[in-house]
Structure 1
């Protein structure tokens, strides 16, 4: 095979590789767009989300949908918590200390948007001295279903009503009042139900 033929063959392989990469990026962009459009957030917010944010919010939304489904199936009554949050916010925490859901009103009191909180670890927004307490509480199943907590959460609102960068945020003491709910998140055999159940803390903060 001559040198010219080899170069042509090499160029064809490179072109095929570039075409395959373009097609892959196009497919990824289409999937990303579909997932983004499916999120229960306003279109103006969707336009600001990157891929990692879309995945983070999508995963939390799926978990939240499962929690609501299980709560309805098991006739778990939490309406009173939502009513109490009319002048505050609702938050749902997993046993991994992740924020599964927080109501949009959280921005009014902490200055941090709902989108920036959902799917994140609560520890990123807590005072370091409160980490051990919340981890110990959420990571171990408890028989005490009702629990109130005092936590120091980051707040980007100043006393003058201005908003600062998260890195410059101060800490605001909040009192969460809520209940632990335990749900079997996947279908499983009777002997594995205990290991498959997950605990969530559904709480409210009132202004």
Structure 2
């Protein structure tokens, strides 16, 4: 009896292991990784995939493991997407409303040192600095929707900074503090509406999840960034009082470095942009790194220069206390000119396209009207010809009847004369 029980248990375990093995093969991971997964990891990754189907009901391409011989362009597209992920200076991640990571690209290991398998299915709060938990919760919480009741799905933009756990070696980790690295996340919160049966105007909104891209700040160490012609660097105290500026600031703003030293950065920023700069300054003091939004910097000869700053707090090597702020700044005027030129070309091409479309439609309408008129003329001529034919037939019938009557009359007279 015991032997049968052991055999049944062994058979059950073998079947269970076989099912887990088949399930692992369906995961979108290399076979070298799936073959080493334990059962808990397989369940965790499979659950994450099923949750992803809520965010993307139509899926992301064909079935996992599907190989196509005929649709070579799709295969090229998937390979291109993989290469883009490798070249992207960041990683893509999808987070459920409860904070569980449904998907994260393998490039996360380059920035955090944590593998894709380790992160997927676990809570993002486990890898975020405790002081940033409230901010992460606020990001995952949708605001009251202001959209029309007829909109079934929409997206809320999100841009935030998180300190995430980094286990890379010090020489590869970049700028870290206490084992955490500042990541700039930008993406959107996906919201879906479900109508209720009570009224077509009533409905409930469901938070589907967060889709975002994370970037390390800055891309490399501040001291290793090569300054181009549209960039300048400054060093400031913690209250943004400028201490040092490099000579490139004169080419971009007209100010010599000595004109700005001992002055606060806020004095040269447009009043409408000071609020966003102050928020970025606060984040910098709290988290150690920040990327500002584009702001307007006053030029010496008048006008404004659009600038974006990558700022980092430098700590004292002895006391480990914050010492100063180092910022690399990008002049965005050349980019704005290119964008304006591109918009002009797009608008110009759009105008030409609209004019051509209107001309083609007008010509087609004229041709249709001419064809209709020709058809009407042909129909009119056919009706006239039919009427003429009818009249000719009637005339022939009348002439024939008259001939018959005259012939009968002559014949009658002939017989009458013979009789009498």
Instruction: Please state how far the C-alpha of 1:86 moved relative to its aligned partner.
Output: 2.3
Which residue of 122, 127, 151 corresponds with 2:162?
151
Deviations 1:142-166 (A, max 9, x none): 248111111110011133128xxxx
Q: What is the TM-score when the length of structure 2 is the normalising length? A: 0.38
Alignment of 1:197 onto 2:206:
yes
Deviations 1:110-136 (A, max 9, x none): 111111111110011111111222124
Deviations 1:41-91 (A, max 9, x none): 00111122111111111111122234222589xxxxxxxxxx898221111
Which residue of 176, 183, 187 corresponds with 1:174?
183
Secondary structure of the structure 2 residue equivalent to 1:161: helix
If asked which structure has higher relative contact order (CA below 8 Å, sep 6+), I would say 1
Match of 1:102 in 2: 104
Which residue of 123, 129, 132 corresponds with 1:121?
123
Please tell me whether Structure 1 or Structure 2 has the larger radius of gyration of its CA atoms: 2
Q: What is the TM-score when the length of structure 1 is the normalising length? A: 0.74
State the superposition RMSD in angstroms: 2.8
Match of 1:141 in 2: 142
Secondary structure of the structure 1 residue equivalent to 2:7: helix
Aligned pair in 2 of structure 1 residues 191, 111: CA closer, same or farther (>3 Å)? farther
Q: Matches of 1:71 and 1:41 in 2, distance apart?
A: 16
Alignment of 1:60 onto 2:48:
yes
Secondary structure of the structure 1 residue equivalent to 2:169: coil
Instruction: Please state how far the C-alpha of 1:194 moved relative to its aligned partner.
Output: 5.0
Match of 2:245 in 1: none
Aligned pair in 2 of structure 1 residues 195, 49: CA closer, same or farther (>3 Å)? farther
Aligned pair in 2 of structure 1 residues 26, 183: CA closer, same or farther (>3 Å)? farther
Which residue of 40, 48, 61 corresponds with 2:28?
40
Which residue of 1, 4, 8 corresponds with 1:20?
8
Q: Matches of 1:71 and 1:20 in 2, distance apart?
A: 39
Unaligned runs of 5+ in 2: 61-83, 146-154, 220-420
Instruction: Please state how far the C-alpha of 1:16 moved relative to its aligned partner.
Output: 2.3
CA contact (8 A) 2:166 2:179 kept: yes
CA contact (8 A) 1:70 1:183 kept: no
Q: Matches of 2:125 and 2:103 in 1, distance apart?
A: 15
Secondary structure of the structure 1 residue equivalent to 2:133: helix
Instruction: Please state how far the C-alpha of 1:95 moved relative to its aligned partner.
Output: 0.4
Deviations 1:155-184 (A, max 9, x none): 11133128xxxxxx8100111111110247
Aligned pair in 2 of structure 1 residues 194, 45: CA closer, same or farther (>3 Å)? farther
**Count of aligned pairs between the two proteins:** 175
CA contact (8 A) 1:67 1:183 kept: no
Secondary structure of the structure 1 residue equivalent to 2:171: coil
Aligned pair in 2 of structure 1 residues 95, 194: CA closer, same or farther (>3 Å)? farther
CA contact (8 A) 2:195 2:204 kept: no
